[in-house]
Chain A
Amino acid sequence: MSGLNPMSSARARDLLIGIAGGDRTAFDIFAREVTPFVHARVSRIIWDQAAAEDVTQVVMLKVWTGANRFNSGRGNAFAWLTTMCRNTAIDHCRVEQRHQRISDAAKESAEVLDDNVLDETLAAAERREVRIALASLNSSQRDAIQLAYFEGLTYVEVAERLGEPEGTVKARIRRGMIQLSRLLGETHVN
Chain B
Amino acid sequence: MSTDNYSETDDSMHSLTGAYMAGALSTAQFELYEAHLETCDSCIAEINEMELAAEKLFFHHAASVPEELMAKVLAVPDRPHPSSAAQSAMVLPTPKSMGSKSARLRLFALAAAFIVIVGFGLVVNQSRTLSRAEQVAAMNDAESLDLTGEDFSIELVISESSSSVAFIDQEFSALESDKAYALWRIPVEGVPEFLGLIRLNDDRKTDQAFDASVADAAAFAVSIEEAEASPQAPSDQVILVGQLS
Known: A83-B30, A177-B18. A155 touches B65 (CB 8 A): no
> Which residues on A are within 8 Å of B, measured CB to CB?
2, 5-9, 22, 24, 27-28, 31-32, 35-37, 39-41, 43-44, 50-51, 53-58, 60-61, 63-66, 68, 71, 74-76, 78-83, 85-87, 90-92, 94-97, 113, 115, 117-122, 126-127, 129-130, 133, 145, 148-150, 152-156, 158-160, 166-167, 170-178, 180-182, 184-185, 188
Q: How many angstroms between the C-alpha atoms of A170 and B88 in the bound complex? A: 44
Indicate whether B195 reaches chain A with its CB closer than 8 angstroms: no
Distance (whole angstroms) from the CB of B205 to the closest CB of chain A: 10
Q: How many angstroms between the C-alpha atoms of A145 and B47 in the bound complex? A: 16
Binds A, one of B53-61, B100-108, B236-244: B53-61
Residues 1 to 41 of chain B near chain A (Cβ within 8 Å):
1-3, 5, 15-27, 29-30, 34, 37-38
Q: How many angstroms between the C-alpha atoms of A188 and B83 in the bound complex? A: 41
* Cβ-defined contact, B73 with A57, below 8 A: yes
The listed residue with most A CB atoms (<10 A of its CB), out of B23, B44, B51, is B23
* Cβ-defined contact, A95 with B208, below 8 A: yes
Instruction: Tally B residues with Cβ within 8 Å of A.
Output: 70
Q: How many angstroms between the C-alpha atoms of A170 and B17 in the bound complex? A: 8
* Cβ-defined contact, A36 with B52, below 8 A: no
Which B residues touch A121, using CB under 8 A? 62
Which A residues touch B73, using CB under 8 A? 31, 35, 56-57, 60
**18 A–B contacts, CB within 8 A, in A order:** A32-B74, A40-B62, A41-B58, A44-B61, A53-B69, A75-B37, A76-B20, A79-B20, A90-B201, A96-B132, A97-B199, A149-B24, A154-B202, A167-B15, A170-B18, A180-B52, A181-B53, A184-B53
Q: How many angstroms between the C-alpha atoms of A148 and B30 in the bound complex? A: 14
Indicate whether B129 reaches chain A with its CB closer than 8 angstroms: yes
The listed residue with most A CB atoms (<10 A of its CB), out of B2, B51, B56, is B56
Distance (whole angstroms) from the CB of A120 to the closest CB of chain B: 7
Q: How many angstroms between the C-alpha atoms of A87 and B25 in the bound complex? A: 9
Which A residues touch B55, using CB under 8 A? 2, 5, 7-9, 78
* Cβ-defined contact, A119 with B64, below 8 A: yes
The listed residue with most B CB atoms (<10 A of its CB), out of A9, A81, A117, A174, is A174
* Cβ-defined contact, A130 with B60, below 8 A: yes
Interface residue from A71, A117, A126, A180 paired with B63 (Cβ < 8 Å): A117
Indicate whether B113 reaches chain A with its CB closer than 8 angstroms: no
